Structure 1
Amino acid sequence: MRNFSTTELRAPLALLRLGARRYTRLVRRIFLALLLAASLASPNTATAQEDFSAWLEALRVEANQKGIPPYVTDVALDGVKPIPRVVELDRKQPESTITMAQYLANTVSDARVTRGRELLVQHKALLQRISAEYGIAPRTIIALWAMESNYGDVQGNFKVIDALATLAFEGRRAAFFRTELLEALRILAEGHIRPDAMKGSWAGAMGQAQFMPSTFRKWAADGDGDGKRDIWRSTADVFASTANFMRGLGWKGGESWGCEVKLPPNFDRLAIGPDVRKTVDIWRSRGVKKLGGAALPEIAGETSIVQPDGPGGRAFLVGDNFRAVMKWNRSTYFAAAVGLLSDRIGGAP
């Protein structure tokens, strides 16, 4: 009978200490990686390396036919391979949800507010120029910068071309990601960034503004006048691009996004929701007040009461600017966090 070493006996105990949940995630991650690796090694599966090479060549031909120069595709697509980690992240389902309190604790923290105020002062002249041009308040630009990349600190380390090629090839949402990949190649053709510097998230969201390539091509702006739209390294381009996108989404300069409110006892639950729209005067008449007891702010047009966590949760009076942020990211948590963070950074009452 074989004698096991101390190290071999210790290994199972270490795995147990990971806990059942962490161990399950680890096994699943290993399984997915092995599955993709095996599929790439097999000539009989849709994800075989031979098929990927043929798919990539067809993409190259399509890109050239659509006006992307061969020298761009030659450089950008050379050596591109599927990334197992990208496939895993794309297929991964959330294991749990968080409350709005937990979400806001992370996104609207005191540390983030303090840094945002410092950056608001540091970039005052630039922000004032961008704000005057696009009609977006400096504090809103700073808040979106914080939410998307923690002021540029977290842009993602995936090669965008490789990540998009993986997602366009592996089948799920293939058409969407193929379009984004072609847009990314056009960005390279326009000379805004080098292929090796085009980094982003696993899903292809790029730079400090976390724009998808199609969003970049439509809304990214040259804020420093150098002829390029560099949302990776140019703060001026990040601010201008953010402001231009928000203006395109319908942000109205000089108007509030909304505020947190206190609902009166026995408030009609059927009146809560983004599809119920009324003027601020009507909400006032129904006893809705700003949190703390102050009067509601003046917000033009129709407004809604939203309660992201459902009955008993925090409630917000929101207007068209909140809806504009929702077009950026379709999450009430995100939109509320942008509003609250911008208010705290800018010192709004």
Structure 2
Amino acid sequence: MRGVVLFLAYLLSLALIAASYGAQGATISGAAGVPVPTPSPLAEDQAFQAFLLDFRPQALAAGISAATYDQAVAGISRNQKVEDRNLNQPEFSKPIWAYLDSAVSPRRVSDGRAAMSANEEAISKISTRYGVPAEILTSIWGNESDYGRGAGSYKMVEALATLAYAGPRIDYARPQLLAALKMAEQEHYDPAAMTSSWAGAFGQTQFVPTTFLSSAVDGDGDGRIDLWLNVADALASTANVLSRAGWVAGKPWGYEVTLPPGFAYEEADLDITKPVSAWTKAGVKTAAGTELPQSGDPASLFLPAGARGPAFLVFPNFKSVLKYNNAASYALAVCLLGDQLKAAAAGASPTAPVAGAWPRDLAPLSRDERLALQDSLTKLGFDIGKVDGLIGAKSRAAVRAWQKAHALPADGFATAEILTQIAMEAKSKTATP
């Protein structure tokens, strides 16, 4: 009987949607010269409820009970704030030095030190068990939620259902929504009390539901996993992710280095690894100008701001942090803050996180400028893959090749000046019969 009622409700919602469109004088899509009206908020809300009804069999087929699903979606609605954030992403053009100014600030260090002291016993046990340093775990905690201050206040199921209903994140959100429902069922959570960011990340160290299912652990042995309020659970789960990602106990993440004049910058890429001895032979030294500590571990040279900025020699542990959050600026922030926390715990006097100077006069390219760069590179015959405004490995390789052909440091770092030169060259080539 309940199934019949739900089916009738579904038909009613479709009728209301059709009526709403009809009231606005909607015509058949594609009719010449006749625009299709934007659905009214009422129509969108009815369509969202129809989506929830339609998604129910998929959830049940994934092993979620009808009772859990019905409880979780009861009373939720299409969240306009989530929808707006999903469709109108802010421009991610903050330069890395500005990002690090905040991520590795004196306040972040002092708060991190206090957090480590307040949870010293728990963090020490977790660090010993998983082989991940206490300062790295604390740094991730600080970078993800500012030590619990920014763990998210949206209703997780509602946020993920809104993203799963429509928009550019459907492929991400639908598996996450199913995982969130499994979380609620397996851990006996009240779905209404499960909070997250607008994108579904939650807890002290901002897990997504699929990562929770694969890697979350009970950090304090109380028989329950609570990443929202239980610091031990959150940090143990984070340590478990890093351990599985390949973090090796007792090994460094990396350190700052200096490069010799005439260095072959095309060798500086996270995808290129060499033994430390090879970097020594190439003239790379520590930031203090001394010989590199010899190691058998493979290392990559990372130039987060190109040839004009600081350089870092990074090891597999750095790449383990990248598997936690695949953004090189994030991984560098975590590792640098970890160094600061370790020094503070040892009683060392505060020092600048980075010795080298950042090129603070450079403005990062906007998305439109990145699109223009990729378009121009394509016109010049370079394979950059998809023109999407994301400067990935192929785009960096194309910029490097162009720089090398023009006797410039081939660091692959795109600046406004390089964009101008490449765009002029592409325009000239296009204009030539």
Q: 1:129 to 1:260 in 2, by over 3 A?
A: same
Which of 184, 191, 205 matches 1:188? 184
Q: AA paired with 1:247?
A: S
Which of 72, 83, 91 matches 2:79? 83
Match of 2:342 in 1: 346
Answering whether residue 157 of structure 2 is matched by residue 156 of structure 1, we say no
Q: 1:118 to 1:63 in 2, by over 3 A?
A: same
Alignment of 1:195-274 (within 5 A): 195-274=191-270
Q: CA deviation at 1:111?
A: 0.9
Which of 328, 331, 345 matches 2:327? 331
**Separation in 2, partners of 1:92, 1:49:** 20
Q: 1:251 to 1:195 in 2, by over 3 A?
A: same
Kept in 1: contact 2:113–2:341 (CA 8 A): yes
**Separation in 1, partners of 2:247, 2:96:** 24
**Separation in 1, partners of 2:305, 2:299:** 19
Q: Deviations over 1:94-125 (max 9, x none)?
A: 33512221111000001111121222222222
Q: 1:331 to 1:224 in 2, by over 3 A?
A: same
Q: CA deviation at 1:52?
A: 1.7
Match of 1:98 in 2: 94
**Separation in 2, partners of 1:268, 1:246:** 32
**Separation in 2, partners of 1:298, 1:121:** 34
Q: CA deviation at 1:196?
A: 2.4
Q: Deviations over 1:16-42 (max 9, x none)?
A: xxxxxxxxxxxxxxxxxxxxx953323
Kept in 2: contact 1:278–1:303 (CA 8 A): yes
Which of 272, 284, 288 matches 1:288? 284
Where 2:307 maps in the other structure, the secondary structure is coil
Q: CA deviation at 1:292?
A: 2.3
Deviates more, 1:244-253 or 1:58-67: 58-67
Match of 2:141 in 1: 145
Q: 1:93 to 1:119 in 2, by over 3 A?
A: closer
Answering whether residue 35 of structure 2 is matched by residue 39 of structure 1, we say no
**Separation in 1, partners of 2:223, 2:145:** 24
TM-score, normalised relative to structure 2: 0.68
Where 1:305 maps in the other structure, the secondary structure is strand
Higher relative contact order, structure no. (Cα contacts within 8 Å, ≥ 6 residues apart):
1
Q: CA deviation at 1:161?
A: 0.3
Q: AA paired with 1:67?
A: G
Which of 292, 307, 313 matches 1:311? 307
Q: CA deviation at 1:202?
A: 0.6
Match of 1:26 in 2: none
Where 1:259 maps in the other structure, the secondary structure is strand
Q: Deviations over 1:303-349 (max 9, x none)?
A: 01011112211211001011111111111111111111101101189
Where 2:187 maps in the other structure, the secondary structure is coil
Answering whether residue 318 of structure 2 is matched by residue 322 of structure 1, we say yes
Structure ID, larger Rg: 2
Structure 1 gap segments, 5+ residues each: 1-36, 43-47
Match of 1:108 in 2: 104
Where 1:101 maps in the other structure, the secondary structure is helix
TM-score, normalised relative to structure 1: 0.84
Where 1:303 maps in the other structure, the secondary structure is strand
Q: Identity percentage over the alignment?
A: 39
**Separation in 2, partners of 1:153, 1:204:** 16
Match of 1:132 in 2: 128
Where 1:308 maps in the other structure, the secondary structure is coil
**Separation in 2, partners of 1:177, 1:54:** 17
**Separation in 1, partners of 2:226, 2:148:** 12
Q: CA deviation at 1:67?
A: 2.3
Q: AA paired with 1:324?
A: S
Q: AA paired with 1:305?
A: L
Q: 1:308 to 1:135 in 2, by over 3 A?
A: same
Where 1:261 maps in the other structure, the secondary structure is strand
Q: Give aligned pairs, total.
A: 309
Q: Deviations over 1:118-148 (max 9, x none)?
A: 2222222211211111111111110111111
Kept in 1: contact 2:87–2:167 (CA 8 A): no
Q: AA paired with 1:342?
A: G
Where 1:247 maps in the other structure, the secondary structure is helix
Q: 1:309 to 1:218 in 2, by over 3 A?
A: same
Which of 49, 52, 57 matches 1:53? 49
